[in-house]
Amino acid sequence: MKIKRGDIYYIELYLEPGKISDHNKRSNGTLSFTGVELMDAIVSAGMPDIYLNKANKRNRKEEIYFKIKLFETYVALLPNGELLFDPARKVYLDSTEIGAINYWIGMILTTVLGKKKYGYEYMVHLSMVLKLSSQPPIEKHRFLSANGKTTYKSPDLIAINNSNRYYGVFESKGYSTYSSNAMERGYIQAKSIDKINGKPPKNSLVVMTVTGKRIEITEKDPEGGMEQIEVNLSFLQIYHYLPIVELIVELGPEEQEDWTFGSLVYEEEKYSIGIPTVLYKELLPIAEGKEENLLDEFLEKISSKETYLLDIVPDEARQHILHVK
């Protein structure tokens, strides 16, 4: 398939009961989204560790191209707008390769679901945040802590709604066929977090993307568990938006009113990817690896006020800080 900005795509949604062993799913509507919304998710989903040293840091533009190419290569489009894993592509792939592709398809579509259906601005990888490397030298435990060891039982993603200050928990699974065992493992992962910053997550979802005859998503919403996380909101925003600043720098920044955009051209399609200029300028020195004292000053700002980055963003931009058009 080719992602077209004006096309509308559809995925059937299903919902399972909250009990771990009850897999009697029922229809839960349809998720519809445009090519632009899909591209927004591709830009957002699965950004790797931002704190790699300069020698190892990835080319952000090539990273986006890779995800677009992967999606377009292995996902096919039915005449009614529904998506499926292209069966012609599966014949020369082994199970490990199919599993990796299912993972990426699942992560991208879980991001679409979180943004479109549940109103989350962005999602961050919990395990990746907890394992940040040391460039730049941020003492992450100043900004994020958990009351127990984070293990394989922890969920994939913390989701954030900036404007209304609520959090969600998502565990993403991607399989060729539905797996009740995987859903039950995901249930344990999703329910492991009881509170984030003293409040229960608004959603604690297992999201299984099945790429069989057609791509469909099954959700399960267990009650919370025992682990509590305290996290600085601006720290999560640094983690999410710094790679996007790096991407805009690579694309060539251009100011448009109160926004800074970079133009991404992929084959016949062109997208503008931007964030508010005030946020771009705040994070740019860190993205460029400027003097260490600038980073220290910045960390002091977010340490004294966790909403610092959100507060500097204009009110009308807070719900959709990343703007893809």
Per-domain boundaries in the chain: 8-230, 233-324
pTM above 0.85, yes or no: yes
Which of the residue ranges 2-11, 218-227, 245-254 would you say has the lowest mean pLDDT? 218-227
What is the pLDDT confidence band of residue 302, given thresholds at 50, 70 and 90? Answer: confident
Q: How far is CA 301 from CA 28, 259, 296, in A?
A: 44, 23, 9
Pick the closest to residue 137 from 243, 7, 13, 294 (CA basis): 294
Please indicate whether residue 156 or residue 120 has the higher confidence score (pLDDT): 120
pLDDT given at position 22 = 93
> Residues 119-122: contacts with CB within 8 Å, 24+ apart?
119/161, 119/319, 120/159, 120/160, 120/161, 120/168, 121/160, 121/161, 121/162, 121/163, 121/319, 121/320, 121/321, 121/322, 122/44, 122/159, 122/160, 122/240, 122/321, 122/322
In this prediction, residues 150-166 reach a mean pLDDT of 74
What are the residues whose beta carbons fall under 8 Å from the beta carbon of 283, sequence distance 6 or more? Answer: 238, 241, 242, 245
What distance in Å separates the CA atoms of residue 137 and residue 178, rounded to the nearest whole number?
42
What distance in Å separates the CA atoms of residue 325 and residue 316, rounded to the nearest whole number?
17
What is the pLDDT confidence band of residue 136, given thresholds at 50, 70 and 90? Answer: very low
pLDDT given at position 134 = 37
What distance in Å separates the CA atoms of residue 281 and residue 60, rounded to the nearest whole number?
18
Question: Are 302 and 309 contacting, i.e. CB atoms less than 8 angstroms apart?
Answer: yes
pLDDT given at position 290 = 65
